[in-house]
């Protein structure tokens, strides 16, 4: 009997703990959402990721990571490295890894000093066809 | 007989056989079991022993020459899928199927962070291909010269056992030919026409796919697999298929 | 030519009933074949629910279902013919006939399931592959049909010694074919839940179970059709079959238990496959139909009623045959349901598979063939099936 009672007590405590953890998780997700709402496009640049499909599908750039999180100013990129218009860079013939390795475009920071080097962590920038489809959807996938 | 006498006796198990004799004995066993499991599709005596530490066959023990294989430099894959496009075009792969594709997995970097890894996959042209073993009409076999697993569509009855047997999901039923279709390292579309590499390897802008003859020590595939400090792995080694598509990270 | 060929037509009284049922069976075959033609025209790819990752579905299960019933009937018939003392001899001739019919049902389903059946006859002869279980299975089952037809001819012409020899040969061919069928699955190391030494022997066990159930069911239905009381000898035969059902439901349950114990001490893929049956998408199929209706309840019914009632035995047999149907389906699907790439992005925990209308139609064709075969047997061969007439063993004994 006593053992049984103890069992029940333990079960109750487990249940309680589960509730607590559940609450914590819920709270955490709630907090994240609040942060998203806080994101100010005027201060940090466009919220939507910029996606390039040329020369290869697909590379993603997020203002949020660079401005809000890494604390970069607008003029560290605009308008020396990039125009303030999505899709301009990908029209250039030299928008390639070669240029990045030579310090052009993203490579001016992603050189291993300011930020991680362009010849590492390929999939940090490259989301590929799969990532593209996930972000944009199948229909809008441009066919070459 | 006393214990002492017993100990004096020479053991009759195979450990006491001279090594050559032991090897022939083992080969006999392998040949017998091979008859059932893999039959004539492989000559087990030359299939190459795969030791525990290495999935690459010992050099000098490749069953074929050229022994075609592919090395994937996995971390470089960016899923641009130019390989898929090139394959589709070169080999007339219908939109409902694929001969090669890219898988995606995630590795946790702690906390919420993760890194994406793209994994290119295709037929592994196994040394012990389960698909070849199971086909009731020998519609698929290992090409005697190159070791490429080829298909003869006109023999395929469409029982799909090869599809079930393949550990790599490399086969699909192609309605256009009413037969199972699969990667053949572009044997008919390129290699036989004098090209030295597959369409997918040629199309890859990141130099992920390296195709070549593993039996040639000067080939790039051989060099990549045999350079010091390189970890080489294959997909689903537990199935015993002895694949010929290798993955490295350097 | 010694003896008379005893093909007779059914007694007038039962003709209308059989007649109507035969038309029904023919209709089932017709719509099944229509379904198959439709599937060929629009492509199996569209007509069936199978995919690249799950190339096999219900139809493979149904093929195995009929083939396994056939093996059971054939093996039990051979035992009865050889060792008449086991009391099943009075129904042994019907078992041989039904075994042939079940196999024809199996061939119908597999013939309509594969994509290019017309490439098969020449293909397996001109380009045989001795390492292929499918090849052996097809060859041996094909041989078995031939041998059993010969055997049946010998029974009809009362050459019983030869018939017994052919019966034994057929049983050997059937058993080997059956365990090759098991090995079709069991030798695929890419599917860990199938892989291993258990399946071939599990299939043989299931064969004995299904065969015993089938002979009880069909014999009972035959007597219902004829509106006759079951005679003493036949009843004793059915009781023997009943005992076999009790024994085999128990043994198959034990084997099933170990299969899961083994899976749960195996790799993640094995555990997931086992879960798909015990608590996943196949759990109703498994607990209610395969285990409950197919093994536990019939076993209980038979034990509790102590094999006294033909009706109970026949009901238990029906339940077993329903359970076996689900067992085959569950086996095929659970082996493929876990994606080999589980863990990769976008790969589900389980593939989903639910059979299409076309698949159900083909299954109906299979049942139509078996049903038609049964009825045709009652029509033309009723006398051969009747007890005390022509059982090889008694006739040999009394020579």
Identify whether the C-beta of residue B141 lies closer than 8 Å to the C-beta of residue B132.
yes
In angstroms, the CA C298 to CA C308 distance is 14
Cα–Cα distances in Å, from B248 out to B77, B119, B235, B239, C342? 12, 11, 11, 20, 21
In angstroms, the CA C222 to CA C378 distance is 7
CA contacts within 13 A on the Cβ side of A143: 3
- In the predicted structure, residue B109 carries a pLDDT above the cut 90: yes
State whether B164 and C336 contact (CB < 8 Å): yes
Q: Which residue of chain B is at minimal alpha-carbon distance from A53?
A: B80
* B155 CB within 8 Å of a chain A CB: no
In this structure, of A71-75, B135-139, C388-392, the range with the lowest mean pLDDT score is C388-392
State whether B78 and A128 contact (CB < 8 Å): yes
CB neighbour burial string for B152-172, b if at least 16 within 10 angstroms, e if fewer: ebebbbbbbbbbbbbbbbbbb
Our CA-based measurement puts residue B92 at a distance from the nearest CA of chain C, in whole angstroms, of 18
DSSP per-residue letters across B19-69: HHHHHHHHHHHHHHHHHHHTGGG--TTTS----TT-SSPPTT--SSSS-EE
Q: In percent, how much of chain A has pLDDT > 90?
A: 56
- In the predicted structure, residue C196 carries a pLDDT above the cut 90: yes
Instruction: Count interface pairs B-C at CB distance under 8 A.
Output: 132
Residues of A with CB below 8 A from B206's CB?
122
pLDDT-derived band at B140 (thresholds 50, 70, 90) equals very high
Q: In percent, how much of chain B has pLDDT > 70?
A: 78
Identify whether the C-beta of residue C30 lies closer than 8 Å to the C-beta of residue C306.
no
Cα–Cα distances in Å, from C165 out to B58, C142, C152, C159, C172? 54, 18, 12, 11, 11
Consecutive H or E run containing C175: helix C160-186
For tokens 């290798």, what's the residue? B246
Identify whether the C-beta of residue C170 lies closer than 8 Å to the C-beta of residue C151.
yes
Q: Residue C243, exposed/middle/buried by CB under 10 A (0-12, 13-18, 19+)?
A: middle
In angstroms, the CA B162 to CA B152 distance is 13
Helices (H), B38-178: 82-91, 130-134, 161-165
CB atoms within 10 A of CB C36: 22
- In the predicted structure, residue B9 carries a pLDDT above the cut 70: no
- Sign of the CA dihedral with C287 first, then C293, C295, and C301 last: positive
Closest Cβ opposite residue B156 in set C116, C129, C343: C116
Residues of B with CB below 8 A from A127's CB?
79, 116
Residues of C with CB below 8 A from B42's CB?
none
Interface confidence, given as ipTM, is 0.90
Chain A: partners with 3+ C-beta pairs within 8 Å: B
In angstroms, the CA B156 to CA B181 distance is 10
DSSP per-residue letters across B172-220: EEETTTTEEE---TTTTTTGGGT--S-HHHHH-TT--EEEEETT-TTSH
Q: What is the average per-residue pLDDT within B84-109?
A: 96
Q: What is the average per-residue pLDDT within C133-162?
A: 93
pLDDT-derived band at B5 (thresholds 50, 70, 90) equals low
Q: What is the average per-residue pLDDT within C195-212?
A: 96
Cα–Cα distances in Å, from C261 out to C257, C270, C282, C332? 6, 11, 18, 19
Cis bond leading into A58, ω under 30°?
yes
Residues of B with CB below 8 A from C188's CB?
130, 134, 164-165
- In the predicted structure, residue C13 carries a pLDDT above the cut 70: no
Of residues B111, B181, B187, the one with CA closest to residue B152: B181
Identify whether the C-beta of residue B178 lies closer than 8 Å to the C-beta of residue B158.
yes
- In the predicted structure, residue C23 carries a pLDDT above the cut 50: yes
> B233 forms bridges with which residues in the sheet?
B247
Pick the more confident residue, B6 or C346: C346
Identify whether the C-beta of residue C65 lies closer than 8 Å to the C-beta of residue C362.
no
State whether C127 and B137 contact (CB < 8 Å): yes
DSSP per-residue letters across C319-378: HHHHHHHHHHHHHHHHHHSS-TTBTBTT--SS------HHHHHHHHHHHHHHHHHHHHHH
In angstroms, the CA C301 to CA B36 distance is 43
In the three-class reduction of DSSP (H, G, I as helix; E, B as strand; rest coil), residue B170 is classed as coil
The backbone torsions φ and ψ at residue C48, rounded to the nearest 5 degrees and listed phi first, read -105, 160
Cα–Cα distances in Å, from B225 out to A7, B15, B100? 57, 33, 22
State whether B80 and A56 contact (CB < 8 Å): yes
In angstroms, the CA B135 to CA B152 distance is 11
Domains and CATH numbers, chain C: 13-397 (1.20.1630.10)
Determine the pLDDT at residue B159: 96
Determine the pLDDT at residue C15: 76
Determine the pLDDT at residue C81: 82
Domains and CATH numbers, chain B: 3-248 (3.30.70.20)
Residues of A with CB below 8 A from B78's CB?
56, 122-123, 126, 128
Identify whether the C-beta of residue C338 lies closer than 8 Å to the C-beta of residue C273.
yes
Mean pLDDT of chain C: 90
In angstroms, the CA C22 to CA C33 distance is 16
**Over the stretch C44-102, which tens digit does the pLDDT of each residue have?**
888 999 999 999 999 999 999 999 999 999 999 998 888 765 566 778 889 999 999 99
In angstroms, the CA C96 to CA C70 distance is 9
In angstroms, the CA C18 to CA B35 distance is 51
Q: Which residues of C touch B (CB under 8 A)?
A: 43-45, 50, 52-53, 55-56, 114-117, 119-120, 123-124, 127-135, 138, 184, 187-191, 336, 340-341, 343-346
Our CA-based measurement puts residue A42 at a distance from the nearest CA of chain B, in whole angstroms, of 27
Q: Which residue of chain B is at minimal alpha-carbon distance from C132?
A: B134
Pick the more confident residue, B137 or C5: B137
Q: Mutate one of B72, B116, B206, B250 to test the A interface: name it (highest A CB count within 10 A).
A: B116
DSSP label of C9: P
State whether B135 and C132 contact (CB < 8 Å): yes
Determine the pLDDT at residue A33: 43
Q: Mutate one of B74, B77, B78, B85 to test the A interface: name it (highest A CB count within 10 A).
A: B78
**Over the stretch B12-44, which tens digit does the pLDDT of each residue have?**
444 444 444 444 444 444 443 433 343 333 333
Our CA-based measurement puts residue B22 at a distance from the nearest CA of chain C, in whole angstroms, of 26
Residues of B with CB below 8 A from A124's CB?
115
Cis bond leading into C260, ω under 30°?
no
Strands B68-73 and A59-61: unpaired
Nearby residues of C117 by Cβ (< 8 Å), 6 or more positions away: B157, C111
Nearby residues of B150 by Cβ (< 8 Å), 6 or more positions away: B140, B141, B142, B143, B184, B187
Determine the pLDDT at residue C87: 67
- Sign of the CA dihedral with C91 first, then C96, C97, and C101 last: positive
**Over the stretch B41-94, which tens digit does the pLDDT of each residue have?**
333 333 444 444 468 877 667 788 899 999 999 999 999 999 999 999 999 999
State whether C119 and B155 contact (CB < 8 Å): yes
- In the predicted structure, residue C131 carries a pLDDT above the cut 50: yes
- In the predicted structure, residue C1 carries a pLDDT above the cut 90: no
Identify whether the C-beta of residue B25 lies closer than 8 Å to the C-beta of residue B19.
no
- Chain B, residues 4-33, CB within 8 A of chain A, namely none
Angle formed at CA B155 by CA B154 and CA B157, multiple of 5 degrees: 105
In angstroms, the CA B13 to CA B3 distance is 18
DSSP per-residue letters across A16-69: HHHHHHHHHHHHHHHHHHHHHHH--HHHH--SSPEEE-SSSS-EEE-HHIIIII
**CA torsion angle for C244, C245, C247, C252 (degrees, to 10)?**
130
Task: Per-residue pLDDT tens, chain A, 144 aa: give them.
Answer: 444 544 555 555 544 444 444 433 333 333 344 445 577 888 888 999 999 998 999 999 999 999 999 999 999 999 889 999 999 999 999 999 999 999 999 999 999 999 999 999 999 999 999 999 999 876 555 544
- B242 Cα distance to chain centroid: 6
Of residues C317, C262, C310, the one with CA closest to residue C295: C317
Instruction: Count interface pairs A-B at CB distance under 8 A.
Output: 45
Q: Residue C4, exposed/middle/buried by CB under 10 A (0-12, 13-18, 19+)?
A: exposed
Closest Cβ opposite residue B80 in set A57, A121, A124: A57
Identify whether the C-beta of residue B232 lies closer than 8 Å to the C-beta of residue B222.
no
Pick the more confident residue, B5 or A89: A89
State whether B167 and C189 contact (CB < 8 Å): yes
> B151 forms bridges with which residues in the sheet?
B140
Identify whether the C-beta of residue C91 lies closer than 8 Å to the C-beta of residue C313.
no
State whether B236 and C336 contact (CB < 8 Å): no
State whether B81 and A128 contact (CB < 8 Å): yes
Our CA-based measurement puts residue B97 at a distance from the nearest CA of chain C, in whole angstroms, of 8
Tokens of C218: 């069909």
In the three-class reduction of DSSP (H, G, I as helix; E, B as strand; rest coil), residue C209 is classed as helix
**Over the stretch B168-212, which tens digit does the pLDDT of each residue have?**
999 999 999 999 999 999 999 999 999 999 999 999 999 999 999
Model pTM?
0.86
> B72 forms bridges with which residues in the sheet?
B209, B247
Q: Which residue of chain A is at minimal alpha-carbon distance from B204?
A: A56
Determine the pLDDT at residue C11: 66
- In the predicted structure, residue C117 carries a pLDDT above the cut 50: yes
Closest Cβ opposite residue B173 in set C45, C131, C138: C45
């Amino acid at each position: 009997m006593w053992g049984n009672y103890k069992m029940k007590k333990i079960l109750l405590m487990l249940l309680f703990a589960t509730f607590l953890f559940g609450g914590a998780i819920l709270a955490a997700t709630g907090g994240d959402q609040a942060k998203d709402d806080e994101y100010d496009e005027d201060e940090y640049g466009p919220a939507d990721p910029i996606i390039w499909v040329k020369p290869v599908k697909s590379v993603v750039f997020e203002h949020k990571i660079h401005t809000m999180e890494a604390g970069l100013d607008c003029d560290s990129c605009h308008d020396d490295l990039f125009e303030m218009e999505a899709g301009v860079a990908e029209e250039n013939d030299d928008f390639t890894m070669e240029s990045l390795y030579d310090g052009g475009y993203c490579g001016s920071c992603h050189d291993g000093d300011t930020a991680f080097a362009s010849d590492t962590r390929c999939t940090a920038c490259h989301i590929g066809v799969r990532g593209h489809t996930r972000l944009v959807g199948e229909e809008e996938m441009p066919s070459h | 007989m006393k214990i002492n006498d017993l100990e004096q006796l020479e053991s009759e198990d195979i450990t006491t056989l001279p090594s050559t004799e032991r090897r022939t004995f083992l080969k006999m066993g392998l040949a017998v079991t091979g008859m059932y499991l893999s039959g004539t599709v492989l000559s087990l005596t030359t299939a190459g022993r795969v030791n525990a530490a290495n999935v690459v066959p010992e050099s000098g023990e490749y069953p074929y020459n050229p022994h075609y294989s592919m090395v994937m430099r996995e971390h470089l894959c960016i899923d641009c899928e130019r390989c898929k496009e090139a394959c589709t075009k070169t080999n007339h792969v219908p939109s409902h199927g694929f001969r090669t594709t890219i898988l995606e997995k995630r590795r946790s970097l702690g906390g919420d962070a993760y890194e994406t890894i793209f994994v290119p996959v295709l037929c592994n042209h196994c040394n012990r291909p389960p698909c070849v073993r199971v086909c009731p009409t020998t519609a698929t076999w290992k090409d005697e010269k190159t070791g490429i697993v080829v298909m003869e569509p006109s023999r395929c009855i469409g029982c799909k056992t090869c599809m079930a047997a393949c550990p790599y999901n490399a086969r699909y039923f192609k309605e256009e030919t009413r037969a199972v279709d699969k990667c053949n390292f572009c044997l008919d579309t390129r290699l036989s026409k004098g090209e030295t590499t597959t369409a997918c390897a040629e199309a890859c802008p990141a130099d992920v796919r390296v195709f070549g003859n593993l039996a040639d020590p000067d080939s790039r595939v051989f060099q990549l697999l045999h350079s010091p400090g390189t970890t080489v792995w294959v997909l689903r080694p537990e199935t015993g298929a002895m694949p010929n598509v290798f993955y490295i990270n350097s | 030519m010694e003896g008379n060929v005893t093909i007779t037509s059914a007694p007038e009284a039962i003709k209308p009933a059989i007649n109507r049922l035969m038309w029904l069976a023919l209709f089932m075959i017709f719509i099944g074949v229509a379904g198959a033609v439709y599937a060929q025209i629009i492509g199996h790819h569209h007509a069936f629910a199978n995919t690249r990752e799950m190339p096999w579905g219900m139809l493979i299960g149904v093929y195995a279902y009929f083939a396994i019933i056939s093996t059971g009937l054939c093996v039990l018939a051979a035992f009865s013919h050889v060792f008449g003392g086991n009391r099943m001899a009075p129904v042994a001739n019907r078992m041989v006939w039904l075994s042939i019919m079940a196999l024809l049902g199996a061939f119908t389903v597999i013939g309509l399931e594969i994509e290019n059946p017309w490439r098969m006859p020449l293909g397996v002869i001109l380009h045989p592959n001795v390492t292929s279980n499918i090849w052996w299975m097809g060859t041996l089952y094909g041989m078995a049909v031939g041998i059993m037809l010969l055997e049946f001819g010998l029974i009809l012409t009362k050459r019983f010694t030869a018939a017994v020899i052919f019966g034994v040969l057929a049983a050997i061919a059937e058993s080997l074919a059956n365990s090759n069928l098991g090995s079709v699955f069991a030798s695929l190391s890419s599917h860990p839940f199938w892989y291993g030494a258990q399946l071939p022997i599990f299939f043989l066990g299931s064969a004995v179970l299904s065969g015993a159930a089938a002979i009880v069911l069909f014999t009972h239905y035959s007597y219902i059709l004829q509106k006759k009381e079951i005679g003493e000898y036949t009843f004793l035969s059915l009781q023997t079959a009943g005992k076999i059902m009790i024994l085999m439901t128990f043994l198959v349950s034990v084997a099933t238990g170990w299969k899961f114990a083994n899976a749960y001490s195996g790799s993640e893929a094995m555990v997931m496959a086992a879960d798909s049956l015990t608590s996943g998408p196949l759990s109703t199929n498994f607990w209610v139909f395969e285990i409950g209706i197919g093994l536990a309840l019939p076993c209980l019914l038979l034990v509790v009623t102590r094999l006294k009632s033909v009706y109970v035995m026949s009901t238990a047999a029906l339940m077993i045959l329903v359970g076996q149907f689900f067992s085959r389906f569950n086996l095929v699907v659970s082996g493929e349901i876990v994606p080999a790439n589980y863990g990769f992005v976008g790969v589900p925990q389980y593939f989903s598979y639910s059979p299409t209308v076309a698949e159900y139609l083909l299954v109906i064709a299979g049942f139509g063939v078996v049903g038609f075969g049964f009825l045709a047997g009652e029509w033309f061969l009723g006398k051969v099936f009747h007890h005390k007439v022509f059982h090889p063993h008694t006739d040999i004994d009394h020579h």
